[in-house]
């Protein structure tokens, strides 16, 4: 097994490290943050990702940290009128706090594999591996690896260096606010409340907390408000119950605000002994709730390819063959979903009322009906 260095200790990077450790690989992770942990809000994990987490050996622990819900089931209008109630045949997702998923992956790694305060600034291929340069509080360091997995997110420094040119993330014209409530709320049926320019989603988390998100059209990226919660309240605080109560139960400091950025499809995820994984390879709009799920799938396929193939080049070729078409089709479908909700809002809401549950289910099954390769 090669000596692997993973750049980035997010969901994709840690999942890759767990997969590589599981097949007996020597793996280290470099993470720029000075501490690991509590960041993020809720994540929906679809059955495809849960199967992949099972292969990583952490499926049961993740399920224990989450709660079953139906994402993309209930749809409402700001007045509260239901366009579609969730249906018993809808596909269940597991709702988890990202921090709990992150901790579960970290716990599955042998101790000492993640180095924090390590910002990778460059990679250089050598005759028999890759030299990685990283910055720490104490100065610049170098380390060698036989294979580098770049899981450093949508703004990947590794991708910027080795895939120069057209791989700058693209602002998709929307901003997203996300948070988890402090307090316990009455159970509310999960739903996405829609108008053409904004969507507010509400999903349960364990312990009665609620994860919410707002996506809204934005003319330009980078606009921030002194009080992000007040801005959300200004936009949707007058929408139907329980939205005002959910916002009232949210601490102002808990709100995350990001612009939605996506990547145009890359021609390859591999450059020599460097391979892209997760958002670094295929950052997509959140409209199918599949970004992290795809990163977890990537992790299992990469580990399986390295276990099955005799040399690194063949394993990376296999990884790319399996992952590039699926992840790019998913990204395209997410983008189409965003366009549909926006440009064809009226048609979309009519379809939501009329589409039989079996067809609704079939549309989603196209993306979540995926089985990972066995790691053991
Ligand atoms: P990241 O989470 O970005 O992790 C990258 C890591 O690399 C970070 O820890 C970062 O600090 C580190 N890093 C960056 N640069 C360096 C460097 N130079 N050196 C060292 N470390 C570095 N996905 C789902 O599956 N379900 C959902 O419900 C869902 N909802 C979403 C809702 C919204 C509004 C948005 C915006 C996204 C959503 N996603 C969802 C997508 C999901 O959040 C991402 O796809 C996923 O987190 C990507 O994981 P990653 O590990 O590839 O990247």
* For the CA of 158, the nearest atom of ligand 1: 18
* For the CA of 30, the nearest atom of ligand 1: 20
* For the CA of 44, the nearest atom of ligand 1: 28
Residues 305 and 318 sit within 8 Å (Cβ to Cβ)? yes
Q: How confident is the model at residue 227, as a pLDDT? A: 96
Residue with the nearest Cα to atom 35 of ligand 1? Answer: 286
pLDDT digits (tens, 9 = 90+) for 119-177: 999 999 999 899 999 999 999 999 999 999 999 999 999 999 999 887 899 999 999 99
Q: Which two tokens stand for residue 67?
A: 């709660």
Q: How confident is the model at residue 311, as a pLDDT? A: 94
* For the CA of 121, the nearest atom of ligand 1: 18
Q: How confident is the model at residue 309, as a pLDDT? A: 94
Residue 362 pLDDT greater than 80, yes or no: yes
Q: How confident is the model at residue 344, as a pLDDT? A: 84
Residue 235 pLDDT greater than 90, yes or no: yes
pLDDT digits (tens, 9 = 90+) for 191-232: 999 998 999 999 999 888 999 999 999 999 999 999 999 999
Ligand 1 pocket test, pick from 47, 134, 292 with the greatest ligand atom count within 8 Å of Cβ, gives 292
More reliable by pLDDT, 361 or 6: 6
* For the CA of 157, the nearest atom of ligand 1: 18
Residue 275 pLDDT greater than 90, yes or no: yes
Residue with the nearest Cα to atom 43 of ligand 1? Answer: 292
CA of 292 to the centre of ligand 1 (A): 7
Ligand 1 pocket test, pick from 286, 288, 299, 364 with the greatest ligand atom count within 8 Å of Cβ, gives 286
pLDDT digits (tens, 9 = 90+) for 36-74: 877 889 999 999 999 999 999 999 999 999 999 888 788
Q: Torsions phi, psi of 9, nearest 5?
A: -110, 45
Q: What is the 3-state secondary structure (H, E, C) of the chain?
A: CCEEEEECCCHHHHHHHHHHHHCCCEEEEECCCCCCCCCCCEEEECHHHHHHHHHCCCHHHHHHCCEEECCCCCEECCCCCEEECCCCCCCCEEEEEHHHHHHHHHHCCCCCCEECCCEEEEEEECCCCEEEEEEECCEEEEEEECEEEECCCCCCHHHHHHCCCCCCCEEEEEEEEEEECCCCCCCCCCEEEECCCEEEEEEECHHHCEEEEEEEECCCCCCCCCCHHHHHHHHHCCCCCCHHHHHHCCCHHHCEEEEEEECCCCCCCEECCEEECCHHHHCCCHHHCCHHHHHHHHHHHHHHHHHHCCCHHHHHHHHHHHHHHHHHHHHHHHHHHHHHHHHCHHHHHHHHHHCCHHHHHHHHHHHHCCCCCCCC
Average confidence (pLDDT) over 170-192: 87
Percent pLDDT > 90 in the chain is 81
Residue 187 pLDDT greater than 70, yes or no: no
Antiparallel, parallel or unpaired: β 170-180 and 256-262: antiparallel
Q: With bands split at pLDDT 50, 70 and 90, how would you rate the model's confidence at 355?
A: confident
Residue with the nearest Cα to atom 29 of ligand 1? Answer: 289
* For the CA of 13, the nearest atom of ligand 1: 51
Residue 328 pLDDT greater than 70, yes or no: yes
Percent pLDDT > 70 in the chain is 99
Q: Which residues line ligand 1 (CB under 6 A)?
A: 7-13, 30-33, 43-44, 119-120, 151-153, 157, 176, 178, 213, 258, 260, 278-280, 286, 289-293, 295
Average confidence (pLDDT) over 258-283: 97
pTM for the full predicted model? 0.97
Give the whole-angstrom CA distance, residue 250 versus residue 214: 14
CA of 62 to the centre of ligand 1 (A): 18
CA of 207 to the centre of ligand 1 (A): 24
CA of 244 to the centre of ligand 1 (A): 28
Residue 186 pLDDT greater than 80, yes or no: no
Q: With bands split at pLDDT 50, 70 and 90, how would you rate the model's confidence at 343?
A: confident
CA of 87 to the centre of ligand 1 (A): 30
Residue 341 pLDDT greater than 90, yes or no: no
CA of 98 to the centre of ligand 1 (A): 10
């Amino acid at each position: 097994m090669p000596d692997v260095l993973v750049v980035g200790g997010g969901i994709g990077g840690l999942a890759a490290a767990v997969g590589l450790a599981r097949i007996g690989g020597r793996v280290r992770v470099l993470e720029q943050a000075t501490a690991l942990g509590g960041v993020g809000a809720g994540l929906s994990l679809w059955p495809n990702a849960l199967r992949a987490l099972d292969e990583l050996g952490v499926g049961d622990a993740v399920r224990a940290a989450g709660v079953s819900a139906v994402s993309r089931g209930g749809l409402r209008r700001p007045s509260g009128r239901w366009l579609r109630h969730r249906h018993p045949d809808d596909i269940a997702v597991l709702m988890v706090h990202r921090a709990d998923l992150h901790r579960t992956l970290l716990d599955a790694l042998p101790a000492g594999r993640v180095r924090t305060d390590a910002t990778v600034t460059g990679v250089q291929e050598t005759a028999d591996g890759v030299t990685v340069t990283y910055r720490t509080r104490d100065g610049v360091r170098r380390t060698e690896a036989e294979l580098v997995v770049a899981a450093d997110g949508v703004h990947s420094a590794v991708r910027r260096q080795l895939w120069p040119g057209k791989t700058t993330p693209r602002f998709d014209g929307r901003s997203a606010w996300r948070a988890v409530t402090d307090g316990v709320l009455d159970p509310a049926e999960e739903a996405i409340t829609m108008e053409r320019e904004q969507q507010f989603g509400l999903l349960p988390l364990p312990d009665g907390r609620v994860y919410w998100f707002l996506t809204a059209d934005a003319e330009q990226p980078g606009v921030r408000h002194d009080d992000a919660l007040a801005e959300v309240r200004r936009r949707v605080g007058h929408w139907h119950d329980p939205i005002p109560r959910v916002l009232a139960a949210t601490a102002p400091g808990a709100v995350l605000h990001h612009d939605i950025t996506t990547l145009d499809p890359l021609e390859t995820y591999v450059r020599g002994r460097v391979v892209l994984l997760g958002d670094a390879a295929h950052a997509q709009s959140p409209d199918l709730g599949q970004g992290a799920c795809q990163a977890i799938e990537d992790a299992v396929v990469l580990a399986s390819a390295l276990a099955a193939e005799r040399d690194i080049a063949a394993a990376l070729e296999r990884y790319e063959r399996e992952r590039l078409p699926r992840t790019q089709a998913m990204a395209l479908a997410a983008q189409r979903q965003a366009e549909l909700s926006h440009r064809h809002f009226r048609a979309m809401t009519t379809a939501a009322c009329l589409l039989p549950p079996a067809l609704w289910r079939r549309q989603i099954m196209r993306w979540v009906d995926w089985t990972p390769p066995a790691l053991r």
